[in-house]
Amino acid sequence: MKLYGSLTSPYVRKVRILLREKTIACDFVVSDPWDATSIVPTLNPLGKVPTLELDDGSALFDSPVIIEYLNSLKGESLLPASGETRWQVLRWQALGDGILDAAVVRLLETRRPEELQSSATISHQESKVARALEFIDKADKGEHYFVDGRFTLADLTIGVALEYVDFRYPHNWREQFPRIALRLAGLSTRPSFAETVPPGMERAVDVPH
Ligand SMILES: N[C@@H](CCC(=O)N[C@@H](CS)C(=O)NCC(=O)O)C(=O)O
């Protein structure tokens, strides 16, 4: 298996974390999806990373699909098989992916020439992140993990999303949401997270009490 992706893509990072959590061997090919010579569009017509090339030459794409596939290969599943906890984990995963989508749209907008940028688009995306943080805070019951008393795809996805907010949309959310900051500090120390920090990302070390 070969995973194609960039070192900064949070969607790719989710997959790299899963591979580490489940100790699955997989080659990692650094590939910039914006590079015209990238091989990715020959595997994935959408030209996006992550793209996972399987040993039979076929490819899987979209991070939740890749994650579900890899998660099914071996070890304890990070997604409960059925019941209420399954839907809870999938909802957290959707929220985390949605935070990423909003932060990416915002970032791309801010990278346009200043005179072409839409402040309405930027604040529309920022309000999604703000509401998501409120949602996470409200759901916090002081437990170490989101669901099932163990590390699941919920923790993986929300953890990556929060660190991506720090990386690409840095703002002082920790003061308003110290419980989320504490939760993220716990996740950040996992080897799978520490080993996949994007180059250029400074990690927040201060956790408000
Ligand atoms: N929904 C996709 C999003 C993947 C995505 O948008 N990846 C970005 C990199 S962060 C990309 O490849 N962009 C290139 C493009 O859109 O052409 C997933 O979860 O895998």
Render pLDDT for 54-86 as a digit per residue (tens, 0 to 9).
Answer: 999 999 999 999 999 999 999 999 999 999 999
Nearest ligand 1 atom, CA 9: 10
Q: How far, in Å, is the centroid of ligand 1 from the Cα of 62?
A: 8
Render pLDDT for 47-58 as a digit per residue (tens, 0 to 9).
Answer: 999 999 999 999
What pLDDT does residue 79 have?
Answer: 98
Rounded average pLDDT over 122-132: 98
Render pLDDT for 163-178 as a digit per residue (tens, 0 to 9).
Answer: 999 999 999 999 999 9
Query: Is pTM beyond 0.75 here?
Result: yes
- Identify which of 48, 68, 101, 107 to mutate to test ligand 1's pocket (most ligand atoms within 8 A of the CB): 48
The tokens 């949602």 sit on which residue? 135
